Structure 1
Amino acid sequence: MISIGIIGGSGYTGGELIRILLHHPEAKIDFVYSTTRAGKPLTTAHPDLQGGTEMTFAGTVNTNVDVVFLCLGHGNSTQFLKEHSFSAATKIIDLSNDFRLKADAKIDDKTFVYGLPELQRSVIREANHIANPGCFATAIQLALLPLAKEHLLGEEVHVNAVTGSTGAGVRPMETTHFSWRNNNVSWYKPFTHQHLGEIGESLRSLQPNASTPYFLPVRGNFARGIFATCYTRFDGSEAEAKALFDTFYKNAPFTQHVNRPIHLKQVTNTNQCHVHVHKHENVLLITSAIDNLLKGASGQAVQNMNLMFGFEETMGLNLKASLF
């Protein structure tokens, strides 16, 4: 049984992490740290945990836990680690974008490993510090990595991906307000999204000449999930493309190559990524779908924790989708 610390547990990713770890057979939550809710029950921020825990938010940090999850806003993890020290034995999994790029991966004596299991499973098993991938980055990379491995990504790769409102975090904003978001669709950060850096680095780790995709993120009028469509020139057959995906993901418990067209509800509330391949003339369309809060954040963080501690990779993560 390993001891867990969670920093920033009042947001969406913190809440999902708590929900998973409360039922993990090899994990025990030691503390959930919050500067604004110390002493208050976790259920004040996460009413879905009512009846599942009587824990309260902590105002202090236990520096000797086995693993700590940083569920802080982007840019805040670096500052937190400068102000707080953990024991040399404490493993750290960061869910922000602070350490995902190679140029940002080191802070003091800590070097963070990029935590996409389908790409770096063996490296993650030996790591002490993990930079958990971004949600869009996860969906897009899992759609494109099998092609990159065979150096088959075309000169241009185009991606359109729609995300639910939880991807913007728990703090209300104009574009997450119900009356604005409901019955509405809009794009944002065209071709400049912050996840493009990590996507490009991962693709070029397999195909050095791979270009960064043209990525258009879209706000959807639903709460959770990412549905990504990616396309690029492909000279092989559809059958050959499907074989590449089957081979690449044959040992990936949470990424499934699906032969029929996929939809978002297949993966919502799970740690799964479903991928589908379709060929039209000389263009290959790859569709991927994930839950942005689970495979795109907290579920993948626990998946990384399982690998780091030698647990079964799927432990605590056998969650079923809710189709109806």
Structure 2
Amino acid sequence: MERIKIGILGAAGYTGGELIRVLLNHPQAEIVFANSESNAGNPVSDVHEGLIGETDLKFTDQMPFNQVDVVFFCFGHGKSEAFLKEHTIPENVKIIDLAQDFRIKGNHDYVYGLPEINKADMAKAQHLANPGCFATAIQLALLPAANLNLLKEDVSVNAITGSTGAGQKPGATTHFSWRAGNLSIYKPFQHQHIAEIRQSLAQVQGYLDADIDFIPYRGNFARGIFCTAVVKTAVPAEEIIEAYKDFYADAAFTHYTDKAIDLKQVVNTNKALVHCEKFGNKLLITSAIDNLLKGAVGQAVQNMNLMFGIDETAGLRLKASAF
């Protein structure tokens, strides 16, 4: 079995560590290098201590792109585009960017990597923009509704994320003593993921005139995203639920469930769970993902599998950690 040779840039952060964890257990993956200038020469397990005993891999400040088939960008937002202006990656090397730099269609060839709607284009892609974490949870909640042409009025969305969504660098709103037992909102109606959410919903519905009124919350837990969305519609619940089941019937990791969902069902997995309930003319949709997996690294590996024509689920059959 030929292995996919992989390079990782920004390997010392949360997404870099989670990516290494997943790839070490991927049957067709081989990590060639994990780049981190500040940690060069140090064992990866010195930073990502959950990997003690699992790998002898060391961080490097080298970037031997000619030795890999694909490189993952685990940079902060805005750094991927800047990096490509200063470095040349061979044309035959695929790129999967986990930042937001290329998610919006424009003067670039990056395919937006949401498998539930773009799988055919992703299979042919050389360069791929991995969706954002909030964006993934919200899109998966709303895409079947868009497919039914239900998004005609403004949509109210609330979603809460764990502290790992803010990255590994400590900040005023991420350290334990502030976050524990606390709750807050940030960037109401202005979150950077709204643009990519609108792009996908318009792609499926054909247009999108309604606003997505998104209020993000900081949660006092480490990982996961729980989302609620309210859509006004007179369409019967039975018709909507059947449409949701049909929309995700062939999805590898996104599942509609008739039961109310909770966050622990998805944490440590690449799954997304979606549930609908009707209250009069209001449709309540809930969705849940792990922000580091289906919201970042897991989806990126799923996308790599699709780009290389192998089993979409390879390396991603993960068990929810709470059960």
Aligned to 2:312: 313
Deviation at 1:323, TM superposition (A): 2.2
Q: Which letter does structure 2 place at the counterpart of 1:171?
A: K
Equivalent-residue separation in structure 1 for 2:118 and 2:47 (angstroms): 34
Superposed CA offset, 1:138-165 (max 9, x none): 0000000011112111311010000000
Aligned to 2:21: 19
Superposed CA offset, 1:191-223 (max 9, x none): 000000000011111223322410000011000
Equivalent-residue separation in structure 1 for 2:110 and 2:150 (angstroms): 29
8 Å contact from structure 1 (residues 159, 231) kept in 2 = yes
In the superposition, the TM-score normalised over structure 2's length comes to: 0.97
Structure-to-structure mapping, 1:1-324, within 5 angstroms: 1-64=3-66, 65-103=68-106, 106=108, 111-210=109-208, 211-324=210-323
5+ residue gaps, structure 2: none
8 Å contact from structure 2 (residues 153, 211) kept in 1 = no
Q: 1:15 to 1:179 in 2, by over 3 A?
A: same
Equivalent-residue separation in structure 1 for 2:264 and 2:161 (angstroms): 13
8 Å contact from structure 1 (residues 34, 59) kept in 2 = yes
SS in 1 for 2:273: strand
Superposed CA offset, 1:19-61 (max 9, x none): 0101111110000011111111101110000000011001110
Q: Which letter does structure 1 place at the counterpart of 2:317?
A: N
8 Å contact from structure 2 (residues 150, 231) kept in 1 = no
Deviation at 1:260, TM superposition (A): 0.6
Deviation at 1:84, TM superposition (A): 1.5
8 Å contact from structure 1 (residues 5, 67) kept in 2 = yes
Q: Which letter does structure 1 place at the counterpart of 2:253?
A: F
Equivalent-residue separation in structure 2 for 1:271 and 1:212 (angstroms): 29
Deviation at 1:121, TM superposition (A): 0.6
In the superposition, the TM-score normalised over structure 1's length comes to: 0.97
5+ residue gaps, structure 1: none
Deviation at 1:172, TM superposition (A): 0.3
Q: Which letter does structure 1 place at the counterpart of 2:271?
A: Q
8 Å contact from structure 1 (residues 199, 212) kept in 2 = no
Q: Which letter does structure 1 place at the counterpart of 2:193?
A: H
Identity across matched positions, percent? 57
Runs of 4+ in 1 over 2 A off after TM superposition: none
Deviation at 1:280, TM superposition (A): 0.2
Equivalent-residue separation in structure 2 for 1:177 and 1:21 (angstroms): 28
SS in 2 for 1:259: coil
Equivalent-residue separation in structure 2 for 1:67 and 1:212 (angstroms): 37
Deviation at 1:4, TM superposition (A): 0.1
Superposed CA offset, 1:271-296 (max 9, x none): 00000000000000000000000000
Equivalent-residue separation in structure 2 for 1:246 and 1:150 (angstroms): 12
Equivalent-residue separation in structure 1 for 2:103 and 2:152 (angstroms): 25
Q: Which letter does structure 1 place at the counterpart of 2:69?
A: D
Equivalent-residue separation in structure 1 for 2:31 and 2:219 (angstroms): 33
